Structure 1
Amino acid sequence: MFDKKSIEILQIIEANGRIDSEKIAKMVDLTAKEVDSYIEELENNNVILSYSAVVNWAKLPVQEAVTAMIDVKVAPKRGVGFDEVAERIYRFPEVKALYLMSGAYDLSVVVEGKTMQETARFVSERLSTIDSVLSTTTHFQLKTYKHDGVIFKEPEEDRRIVVTP
């Protein structure tokens, strides 16, 4: 079902979701048709869940969203652990990501809002009011340096002096 070629294809697609089957085929020594078959199987088995782009919204003249990372301490419920409260949290449209963590907090929630006040309201009115939630700590993202392996830095200009014979 899932072999070494599947892993190779996934690694390539994860780095560049727009790469075409012909290029992948050359990289993994398969035909484009075989690559398409692998990808279809990976999609059908929910291994590949979606394709997305990493966008530097700071470069555009639009209202930037406010992103917050919220550490959440939870009282797990008998028989379901953290899954039940996690499901309640990830169903909120403001929640962009949710992770079960080890350490001082149980869940890490990534939330996006239009303003800091909107995000704070989400935490105080919706997240903190869930029965199993014991405490939250909110961290607002100030600047993105790297996201999903992509560095958000302008390429530096080559300052070397051109030498000609």
Structure 2
Amino acid sequence: MERKELDVLHILEENGRVPIPTLAKMIDATEEEVTAIIKKLENDHVILSYSAVIDWSKVKEVETVTAMIDVKVTPQRGVGFDEVAERIYRFPEVKALYLMSGAYDLSVVIEGKTMSEVARFVSEKLSTIDTVLSTTTHFQLKKYKHDGVVFKKDEDDKRIVVTP
């Protein structure tokens, strides 16, 4: 991969909304070159999607529960973990799925409207897959940083600390 392509990837990963003219100046290329690079990276499935990081805790009308589920599975002969991973990531509740090293094989991130909905997903969908041996569910309580973006409080406390 060429240096300019790598530069474009790093910049877009940090901010997918950088205008083409600005991106061209940042990598010392023409706008046409940048457009061609982006098109090539999209066609080659290097760039898969553009997304925004949203602090949903500030949108009271939309409350969800996020859970990280550690899953121990029996790999299948000839396909390893891929077949069971594909069955799991097809569920609409699944937002992310990773093959892991360590005590568990897969890490599944899901979202639901309530803890009960997450529990039903685990008990009725995930645990019923024949190759799933065990699950451990962890509920997300607060998000501090996601995809390199730090979630900050609205305002710092400006009061003076008073001690006796």
Q: Shared fold by TM > 0.5?
A: yes
- Offset of residue 64 of structure 1: 1.1
Residue equivalent to 2:153: 154
SS at match of 2:50: coil
- RMSD between superposed Cα atoms in Å: 1.3
Q: Distance in 1 between matches of 2:156 and 2:88?
A: 45
Residue equivalent to 1:52: 51
Deviation track 1:122-154 (CA, whole Å, cap 9, x = no partner) reads 001000000110000000000000000000013
- Offset of residue 158 of structure 1: 10
Residue equivalent to 2:114: 115
> Measured at CA, do residues 126 and 157 of structure 1 come closer, stay the same or move farther in structure 2, by a change above 3 Å?
closer
* AA matched with 2:5: S
SS at match of 2:67: strand
* AA matched with 1:151: V
Instruction: Give unpaired runs (5+ residues) of structure 2.
Output: 159-164
Residue equivalent to 1:12: 11
Instruction: Give unpaired runs (5+ residues) of structure 1.
Output: 160-165
SS at match of 2:141: coil
Q: Which runs of 4+ in 1 moved over 6 A?
A: none
User: Number of aligned pairs?
Assistant: 158
Residue equivalent to 1:68: 67
Residue equivalent to 2:135: 136
For normalisation by structure 1, the TM-score amounts to: 0.92
Deviation track 1:31-75 (CA, whole Å, cap 9, x = no partner) reads 111000000000001000010000001112213110000000010
Residue equivalent to 2:22: 23
SS at match of 1:86: helix
* AA matched with 2:135: T
* AA matched with 2:84: V
Q: Distance in 2 between matches of 1:117 and 1:61?
A: 19
Residue equivalent to 2:161: none
Q: Distance in 2 between matches of 1:23 and 1:63?
A: 34
Percent identity between the two aligned chains: 70
Q: Distance in 1 between matches of 2:156 and 2:85?
A: 46
- Offset of residue 3 of structure 1: 1.1
Q: Distance in 1 between matches of 2:157 and 2:36?
A: 43
Deviation track 1:9-38 (CA, whole Å, cap 9, x = no partner) reads 000000001111111111111011100000
SS at match of 2:33: helix
Q: Distance in 1 between matches of 2:140 and 2:61?
A: 18
* AA matched with 2:99: L
